Amino acid sequence: MLKTNENIPVRNIYYMLSYAYQALSLSEYQKVDVEKFHNTKDLYTEILKIGVPVLIRGGLLKDYVRISEKTTVIRGKIDINASIKQNALVDKKLMVLHDDFSEDILLNQIIKATLILICRSLSTSRDNKKFFFGLLPFFNNVSDIELDATLWKRVHYNRQNIRYQFIIDICRYLYEELLLGTSLGKHDSKQIQDEQRFSSLYEKFVFAFYKRETGFIVTHPQIPWKVDNGFTEALPIMQTDIVLSDQNKTLIIDTKFYSENMATKFAGSNAKQKSANLYQLFTYVNNWHKREDEEVGGMLLYAKTTAKEQPNHHYEINGNRISVVTLDMNQKFEKIKNELLMHAESFFKTEQRKGGVSIPETK
């Protein structure tokens, strides 16, 4: 079964975050002493302890928020239907709609709710509770909300709010650790949550690693379907995780963070590739609109599990090279780095390392 979050070294979680979010390269985060943390919850808490005051010093983000209120002062747009339904005219008032430039936006609401969650958590130290409680007055103009997993799906980033992305994602990771991680009783359910918790980070890490540490062109485009009649309605979107390109070679990488990376029908039977994952990658490769001289390959890059049999297979299918390999996240980071470079170089057969690129140092 997969090494769960408790078994992935906290230092490696930090490295994954370092690549996935360049924010960790800022001087404020250099004080993070990774070695003192025994679990990811404490690491996330420390990052928020540094990052939220940075956001506050830069000024909490404001945006126009639609306000509906009962008032005698006409401002904005009169809501006649709401006025009638709420009997506002009895009090000689009207329901009006207007836009207010306010800090009471979803991003700030998520941060405030996370600070409250930390303060209420029994596992939070007294000093940390005192620290985070002291930050709450800066969010007095922000509404209280209940955190749930769907909130983050409503978040959209642009040039104005991109500085929030790292902290908002850390809030999500911490929420899952504090709430979901403790509320799930069954071991199997806990493993599923661990997979979901790290799959997105694992993908971001691998993408950012190749972006920073190699000379490849690194993208994650959608692949259009090759259809003969032009009809594409109801076809699923083919969204790639990572695409590496170099001259006339292109490698499509699909990252997978699962508790099992090979399938067996029953105990003792031979392990086979997971068909859905292989079909997905094969579809990506075959629908890639390649140039006349372009060589296209695919790679399933699983996080290595503790199972005895691990995928390490290289196929030639329909004229395309397809690899199914693993990355061992439970080792020193230098070896993780070398494995990632080796997997890419096995397809491109050339050295693609950049000199002088480094990740934030730890004490």
CA distance 219 to 232: 24
Q: What is the pLDDT along the chain (363 residues), one digit of tens a residue?
A: 344 444 467 888 888 998 998 877 777 887 787 777 878 889 999 999 999 999 999 999 998 776 666 665 666 566 556 656 665 555 656 666 656 778 999 999 999 999 999 999 988 999 999 999 999 999 999 999 999 989 999 999 999 999 999 999 999 999 988 875 554 444 444 454 556 668 889 999 999 999 999 999 999 999 999 999 989 999 999 999 999 999 999 999 999 988 788 887 766 668 889 899 999 999 999 999 999 899 999 999 999 888 888 999 999 999 999 999 999 988 889 999 999 999 999 999 854 445 434 444 444
CA distance 168 to 149: 12
Q: Could you report the per-residue pLDDT of 10-53, keeping only the tens digit for each?
A: 888 888 998 998 877 777 887 787 777 878 889 999 999 999 99
Q: Are 28 and 50 in contact, with CB atoms under 8 Å apart?
A: yes
Residue 166 burial (10 A CB sphere; 0-12, 13-18, 19+): buried
What is the Cβ-side half-sphere exposure of residue 182, based on CA atoms within 13 angstroms?
9
| CA-closest candidate to residue 118, choices 183, 168, 179 | 179
Q: Could you report the per-residue pLDDT of 111-129, keeping only the tens digit for each?
A: 999 999 999 998 899 999 9
Structure tokens belonging to residue 37: 């943390």
pTM of the predicted structure, to 2 decimals: 0.78
Structure tokens belonging to residue 219: 């993208």
